[in-house]
Amino acid sequence: MKKEFEEFNSSIDFDRLLYQEDIEGSIAYVKALQKAGVITDKELQKIVDALQEIKDEIRQEIPLPLQIEDIHTAIEHRLTEKLGEVGKKLHTGRSRNEQVVLDERMYLKKEIKNIVEVITSLQKAIVKIAKDNIDLIMPGYTHLQQAQPILFSHYILSLAFMLRRDKERLLDCYKRMDTCPLGSGAIAGNPYNLDRKFLAKELNFSKVSENSIDAVSDRDFILEFLSSIAILMMHLSRFSEDFIIWSSSEFGFIEIDDSLCSSSSLMPQKKNPDSLELIRGKTGRVFGNLFTLLTVLKGLPLTYNKDIQEDKEPLFDTISTVLACLKIFKNVMATLKFNKEKISKSINSYLLATDLADYLVKKGIPFRESHKIVSLLIRYAIEKNKSLKELSINEYHSFSNKFCKDIYDILDYKVSVERRNLKNIVKKEIQTLANNLL
């Protein structure tokens, strides 16, 4: 029974990921203990050397004792194995409650920087695709119905801007995460007169936490991270969905590279966009991770309770999932092929209805009225099974005498896109992103 509980209680299987931060935190802590006169110079040196060795041992995957509860205890245990009595001094005045949250803050700060870099490289890939296909006209959709002709480059750059906001959110939560909790003790602070500013500086934190009760209870920084990543994944998922639809034989706008698809085990003709489907699917578990932690914290009495140990798996899972998804999504983007003919053929001629209405506005008809005229005209064209170009000038005249021969000049998708100055807007977007991807 004892063994069963020990396994149940243990987090070492997953919190070993924090070993580097834990050791760095301990090194800073013993330095502060020495500064405060709690340990001698010699003891400090011994502990620091031994901790460095332990770091190498763990890096070389020398197995940690399994019956030990967590990475913090395991490292301290190993230190005492190595140094005897001196090792036992490391934890003077310190609690795992502050230690765990310190490690998590350090770990997550590093991971945020890493994720931000990976997002930037995806943004660069997007900018490249936009540049390479700057003139590609496609139908733009609202309600999944064709709305107006747009440039694919404009469409795909919208993701680069969403990603820019995602990075802003991450870097914003980084600012609050960048607070050193060490010195908070288990709940009520530290009696050894530690120099907390020194600790923060040693560990690259820009400030120290002010309320020890808050410091050991708080997991907002993880929640903020999980919600920022949930939003980012939602963005990737929406684009995945568009590309999945566009790669279907009904649309046939794009082809996803074979290396990112699978074939059906039963139907030889099939090529499935698994990469994008998995990104869409994994978005669900990233949302779930946010809800796991929100639920763990809801109704949890202050301060530390063991429930909080459940913060780690959702956090680590979200980090590895988002990194994998960003990388795969970038590969999909970088190898995307366009079926330009199919895209251009798919554009419905009635998409120029708004352009016709604008034409009448230019001739002095108020927009609401021109909208009505064009609606009737489109209904007529559909009835006659004619495209807008196939309607004669007399037919146009029967709807409004403001229609002249030059109407045929605007019945062109390219003109429609140019009227909205889209190409220049795209060029400006590319410039903005190049200057400031953040």
Report in angstroms how near the CB of residue 97 gets to ligand ARG at its nearest.
5
Please choose, from the candidates 171, 244, 181, the residue with its C-alpha nearest in 3D space to the C-alpha of residue 438: 171
Least distance (Å) between residue 438 CB and ligand ARG: 33
> Cβ closer to ligand ARG: 304 or 403?
304
DSSP 392-407: -HHHHHTT-TT--TTH
Pairing of strands 137-142, 271-272: unpaired
CA angle 388/394/400 to nearest 5° reads 80
Cβ proximity to ligand ARG, 97 vs 416, nearer residue: 97
Nearer to ligand ARG, 309 or 354 (CB): 309
- Residue 352 CB partners (closer than 8 Å, separation 6+): 149, 388, 410, 411, 412, 413, 416
Contact call for residue 215 and ligand ARG (CB under 6 A): no
Say if CB 30 and CB 115 are below 8 A apart. Answer: no
Q: How far is the CB of 324 from ligand ARG (least distance, A)?
A: 24
Residues 282-321 that bind ligand ARG (CB under 6 A): 304, 306, 308-309
* From 89, 96, 167, 235, residue interacting with ligand ARG (rule: CB under 6 A): 96
Query: Which single residue is written with the structure tokens 């007399």?
Result: 394
Q: Are 413 and 352 in contact (CB under 8 A)?
A: yes
Q: Which stretch binds ligand ARG (CB under 6 A): 93-101, 105-113, 226-234, 405-413?
A: 93-101
Give yes or no for residue 100 binding ligand ARG (CB under 6 A).
Answer: yes
- CB closer to ligand ARG, 306 vs 345: 306
CB of 312 to ligand ARG, least distance (A): 6
Residue type, 303: T
φ and ψ at 176, to 5 degrees?
Answer: -75, -30
The 120-139 site mask, x for binding ligand ARG (CB under 6 A), equals --------------------
Q: Shortest gap between Cβ of 13 and ligand ARG (angstroms)?
A: 11
Segment near ligand ARG (CB under 6 A); pick from 48-56, 85-93, 95-103, 230-238: 95-103
The amino acid sitting at 356 is L
Instruction: Give the interface segment with ligand ARG, choosing from 94-102, 135-143, 222-230, 390-398 (CB under 6 A).
Output: 94-102
- Shortest distance, CB of residue 316 to ligand ARG, whole angstroms? 12
Q: Which residues are within 8 A (CB) of 133 and not within 5 positions of it... i.e. 6 or more apart?
A: 152, 153, 338
Residue 24 binds to ligand ARG (criterion: CB under 6 A) = no
- 371 included as an active-site residue: no
Which of these is catalytic: 248, 263, 264, 320?
A: 264
C-alpha to C-alpha distance for 378 and 350, rounded to whole angstroms: 7
In the list 24, 43, 70, 355, the residue contacting ligand ARG (rule: CB under 6 A) is: 70
Nearest CA-CA partner of 223 in 297, 317, 164, 313 = 297
Q: Which residues of 49-63 are buried (b: 16+ CB within 10 A; e: fewer)?
A: ebbeebbebbeeeee
What is the 3-class SS of 128-171, one letter each residue? HHHHHCCCCEEEEEECCEEEEEEEHHHHHHHHHHHHHHHHHHHH
Tokens of 330: 């970038």
Nearer to ligand ARG, 310 or 395 (CB): 310
Q: Smaller CB distance to ligand ARG: residue 9 or 335?
A: 9
* 11 interacts with ligand ARG by CB under 6 A: yes
Provide the residue count of the chain: 438
**Least distance CB 311 / ligand ARG (angstroms):** 7
**Amino acid making up residue 5:** F
Around Cβ 29, how many Cβ atoms within 10 Å? 26
Using the structure block, give the residue that is written with the tokens 């469409």: 155
Residue 143 among the catalytic residues: yes
- If the CB atoms of residues 305 and 421 are measured against ligand ARG, the closer one turns out to be 305
Site residues for ligand ARG per CB under 6 A: 11, 15, 70, 96-97, 100, 304, 306, 308-309
Indicate which residues carry an active-site annotation: 143, 264
